[in-house]
A and B are shown apart, each in its own frame.
Chain A
Amino acid sequence: MTVRSTILSEIYKIAVAQKRDISTLHDDLPLMDSGFDSLCFAVLVAHLEDDLGLDPFSSAEEIEFPVTLGDFIALYENAART
């Protein structure tokens, strides 16, 4: 699975587990409008750390939380490359 497909798959799984109605996922979707709250994103980050072995938010540099889903995926794709 690619980083992108892993992230999308986890979002769908968490939406079901947390009983959230989520918007149609596309790169320009603002995360604020996705149907996820901050706790869902915390769960997503926890799952992605397990799946991908990556946690871009705990790196030494201060990282702004991404605005769109595309930004979120790009953050993980960049972390996977480095």
Chain B
Amino acid sequence: MYKIVVTGGSRGLGLGIAVRLVEAGYEVIAIARKSTKELVAAQEVANRDTPRLHFRAFDLSDIDGIAALVKQLRAEFGKVYGLVNNAAVGTSGILSNARVEQIQSQIQLNTVSPIVLSKFLLRSMMAGGGGRIVNVSSIVGFTGYSGLSVYSATKAAMIGFTKSLAREVGQLGITVNSVAPGFLDTEMTSEMEQSHKDTIARRSALRRMPEVIDVANAVEFLMGEKARNITGIVLTVDAGNTV
């Protein structure tokens, strides 16, 4: 059974992706700082017969610890086939008021950490003769959004990373793609006013906001055999908000 690492897999979109991948037949290792009651509930369902949804606690902002984390995962789970780089922090605010440390930590977690994790997990895919990386970007990485300049910069960075890495490892049978969700109704957008969400829905071609399951389905598609000839793309899942 293919093993997939999902970062930020304890809640929100990451948990939705982890659950969808388990349902699709993968064995998933969710990485996050701490577990949640939602994850525990999902594990109870997923692990009823055999363990399929695992959790390992790790703070992904600890860049120096990532090599040891991957070593531990390899020892425990063997070869890892896929990686979903989902963990991110979405601090909003006017750039001129942001603290420098806040900017640095956001870039560290949203960009440096997934790149370093990919570097180490790629080895498992290289040795295994193939693999999948799916980077969770965002539509704000190419449309922009007031108050999300740093977050948008990190999400745009993931698109450049996706395209270059896809070219680098394609000949080894490893695909690298991005998904770019529109605004989702998750904890990350909990501070957004309902009227704002209504406006986003009204301005979208489908007159609604996408849901976690829509993005999770896109990730599952890119992870699967049906996407074997798709690499270096950005799959936008935004209910037509950016068309």
Interface size of B in residues (CB-CB distance below 8 Å): 11
Mark out the residues of chain B between 167 and 210 whose CB falls within 8 Å of any chain A CB in the assembled complex: 168-169, 171-172
Interface contact A42-B126, CB-CB below 8 Å:
yes
Interface contact A39-B168, CB-CB below 8 Å:
yes
Interface size of A in residues (CB-CB distance below 8 Å): 11
A50 close to B (CB within 8 Å): yes
- Contact pattern, A 36-49, Cβ under 8 Å of B = 1, otherwise 0: 00010011011101
Tell me which residues across on chain A come within 8 A of B168, comparing CB atoms.
39
B227 close to A (CB within 8 Å): no
Task: With both chains docked as a complex, state the minimum distance between the C-beta of B166 and any C-beta of chain A, in angstroms.
Answer: 13
Tell me which residues across on chain B come within 8 A of A45, comparing CB atoms.
123
Task: With both chains docked as a complex, state the minimum distance between the C-beta of B171 and any C-beta of chain A, in angstroms.
Answer: 7
A6 close to B (CB within 8 Å): no
A18 close to B (CB within 8 Å): yes
Task: With both chains docked as a complex, state the minimum distance between the C-beta of A68 and any C-beta of chain B, in angstroms.
Answer: 23
Mark out the residues of chain B between 110 and 148 whose CB falls within 8 Å of any chain A CB in the assembled complex: 122-124, 126-127, 129
Q: Determine which of A18, A39, A50 lies in contact with B127 in the assembled complex, contact meaning CB atoms within 8 Å.
A: A50
Please report the C-alpha to C-alpha distance between residue A39 and residue B123 in the assembled complex, in whole angstroms. 11
A-B contact pairs, 23 of them (CB 8 A): A17-B129, A18-B171, A39-B168, A39-B169, A39-B171, A39-B172, A42-B123, A42-B126, A43-B126, A43-B127, A43-B172, A45-B123, A46-B122, A46-B123, A46-B124, A46-B126, A46-B127, A47-B126, A47-B127, A49-B123, A49-B127, A50-B127, A58-B67
Among all A-B residue pairs, the 9 with the closest Cβ atoms: A46-B123, A46-B126, A46-B127, A43-B126, A50-B127, A47-B127, A58-B67, A49-B123, A42-B126
Instruction: Report A's interface with B, CB cutoff 8 A.
Output: 17-18, 39, 42-43, 45-47, 49-50, 58
